[in-house]
Amino acid sequence: MNADNETGPKNPEPDETLIDSGLPAGDASATNDEKPLPLANCVRWMVLGEKTMAAFFLLVIVSTMAAQVFARYVFGAPFQWSEEVARLALIWLTFISAAFVMAERRHIAVDMISSRVGDSGKLLIECLSYLVVAVSCLLLLIGGANFVWYVGKVGSPALGVPKSWWYGAGMVGLLLMAVHSLVNLFQVWKTGKPIPRETHVEEDAFQLELEQSE
């Protein structure tokens, strides 16, 4: 009995590195081969700055509306400028948010065609979509620049802020969206494959609900 146990096959010990990483051997080698996208750090810092600005404008809206309610119902003397400040902050919040949503590829899109073609077709459609968005934003930016310059002579009723600050938010948002579109196009062109989309909990839950309903 002792001789059989000594000469019998022994269970191979699992690789400690694979146990620690929680990945099989194939996935571990694939993870090492992955490379960051070109200009990834630049995009990350741009998105961080845009989200910081959006958070600042949201804070301005909330604090201004809270101060307006407090002044109206406690002191009986509402501010005359609170509505304009909140409206101006909301405009900038909208277009700045559209920029980093573009960077994260979270805008509403219809993928009826891309889901039915191969990798080369998906690559072509994605490059074409980024190019169309960038050209459209730049054309709107060029066409609206004269209008923003023209309305700069007019001030708002309460604050006297030039109207160019109001309509200029759209110009800044269009410029940022065009930059993000061109960066996405460059990343797709350099890697030769569509940029992987980040999975989100809301999308996974929605997909699970659709599968259960079917």
- Which tokens go with 51? 């989200």
- Lowest average pLDDT, out of 24-33, 46-55, 144-153, 184-193, goes to 24-33
**Sign of the C-alpha dihedral computed for residues 47, 113, 193 and 133 taken in this order:** negative
pLDDT score of 3: 47
| Amino acid at position 142, single letter | I
- Which tokens go with 35? 């490379």
pLDDT tens digits for 89-116? 999 999 999 999 988 878 777 777 777 7
Burial of 58 (0-12, 13-18, 19+ CB in 10 A): middle
- Which tokens go with 184? 């996405």
pLDDT score of 172: 93
Q: How confident is the model at residue 119 (pLDDT cuts 50, 70, 90)?
A: confident
pLDDT score of 56: 96
pLDDT score of 210: 57
pLDDT tens digits for 137-148? 999 998 888 888
pLDDT average, residue stretch 23-33: 41
pLDDT score of 203: 54
Q: Give the SS3 label for residue 85.
A: helix
Q: Are 103 and 42 in contact (CB under 8 A)?
A: no
pLDDT score of 33: 46
For the chain, give the mean pLDDT: 77
For the chain, the structural domain boundaries read 18-196
DSSP class of residue 110 equals: -
Share of the chain above pLDDT 70, in %: 73
- Which tokens go with 42? 């630049």
The end-to-end CA distance of the chain, in Å, is: 58
Q: Which residue in 175, 42, 194 sits closest to 99, CA to CA?
A: 175
Prediction pTM value: 0.69
Alpha helices in 71-162 (DSSP H): 82-103, 119-150
Q: Is the pLDDT of residue 63 over 90?
A: yes
